[in-house]
Amino acid sequence: MLTPDDFDFHLPPELIAQHPAAKRTASRLLEVSEETLHDRRFPDLLPLIQPGDLLVFNDTRVIRARLFGYKESGGRIEAMIERIVDARHAIAQIRASKSPKAGCRIVLEDAIALTVIGRTGEQDEFFALELAGDGDLWALIEAHGRLPLPPYIAHAAESEDEARYQTVFARHPGAVAAPTAGLHFDETLLGQIVERGAEIAWLTLHVGAGTFQPVRVAKLSEHRMHSERFDIPPATVAAIARTRARGGKVIAVGTTSLRALEAAAQAGELRAGPAETEIFITPGYRFRVVDRLLTNFHLPRSTLLMLVSAFAGTDTIRAAYRHAIAGRYRFFSYGDAMLLSLRQT
């Protein structure tokens, strides 16, 4: 039986990309199959896509979810918004010397007054918050919050990050982390994909902060994922049906796109519409929708490393990561990419 230790590896710290490549398409691409590994540049993705294939992108937009402030009773805090529930309510992680209790008032960025309603989440890891005054939380957080760079990026968000930690097709705000496989695409490459005879489709999954959390339990079956919202348009379901009919392949751009598609097909048939998912994909999972996956390199012991191992094969992913480390690939959100094919069983 696989344990979290089977998904651990040593990564030299200098391989963690702290800044994006000079331009979006300037990253490297590792083409991975069960038999071979091919070192490529990201624009080499284009000839690997066949006419009749379909690429599915996640068009979520990262919100300015990181805020600093204080408790009115005293003490500094840092808040990371996990989800804006509606115009007056949010769920957040809060770091403080003493955790705020229900009824406590907090003020973020000297501009947003909130009341702590209580704890929430599978392990009470989040705080439910309510706006204490007038206004709209969406607008207030966008006006006063800060871009929530991942914990392994050592610098505070700069103007470069404001532009490059969003995809060029980001439309629907709600994520607290970028769908990083999509960061490699620019408008020119998107146009070239269509010119090649492939289709492009969209879905929205709002990535939560749980995407960075390692698995801390001894048994994978005991791990519980944070719930994430997604929405698959009917047009995307129809595009997948057309792709299947003509013999093309469905290529998920990012693990977020894959998770949404596989979650929406849990009952057997792919369903359009909004939903929530806590899907945890580990080796042994039977994939229903996706044939190929474009993804970045993932954190040790993470659920996403387990997902790609389920998709391409555990031994294949171990070999790919050894190759990438030896070849000095750049890792994580601002790093390089892999193109994986579904393991044949």
DSSP letters of 184-207? G--HHHHHHHHHTT-EEEEEEE--
pLDDT above 90: residue 261: yes
pLDDT above 90: residue 309: yes
pLDDT, tens digit, for every residue of 3-12? 888 999 999 9
Please tell me the distance from the alpha carbon of residue 332 to that of residue 321, in angstroms, as a whole number. Answer: 12
Mean pLDDT of 61-72: 96
pLDDT, tens digit, for every residue of 268-305? 899 999 999 999 999 999 999 999 999 999 999 999 99
DSSP 8-state code for residue 334: T
Which residue's structure tokens are 């977020």?
256
| C-alpha pair distances (Å), 91 with each of 104, 110, 131 | 15, 19, 11
Please count the CA atoms within 13 angstroms of the CA of 133 that sit on its side-chain side.
Answer: 9
**Amino acid at position 192, single letter:** Q
339 or 5, greater pLDDT: 339
pLDDT tier at 35, thresholds 50, 70, 90: confident
208 or 14, greater pLDDT: 14
pLDDT above 90: residue 50: yes
pLDDT above 90: residue 223: no
Q: What domains lie within the chain, and their CATH numbers?
A: 4-62+160-341 (3.40.1780.10), 66-144 (2.40.10)
Report percent pLDDT > 70 for the chain: 97
Mean pLDDT of 39-48: 98
Please tell me the distance from the alpha carbon of residue 12 to that of residue 28, in angstroms, as a whole number. Answer: 18
| C-alpha pair distances (Å), 93 with each of 27, 66, 68, 180, 223 | 32, 10, 12, 22, 19
pLDDT tier at 54, thresholds 50, 70, 90: very high
pLDDT above 80: residue 345: no
CA angle, corner 63, sides to 96 and 181, nearest 5? 110
Mean pLDDT of 75-101: 95
Mean pLDDT of 240-254: 98
Mean pLDDT of 227-232: 94
DSSP 8-state code for residue 156: -
| C-alpha pair distances (Å), 65 with each of 80, 148, 170, 272 | 6, 6, 16, 28
Angle between helices 255-264 and 303-312 (to 10 degrees): 70
Alpha-carbon Rg for the chain in angstroms: 20
Sheet holding 250-253, edge to edge: 37-41, 28-32, 337-341, 292-296, 250-253, 54-58, 199-205, 228-232, 273-277
CA dihedral sign, ordered 203, 208, 210, 212:
positive
DSSP 8-state code for residue 283: T
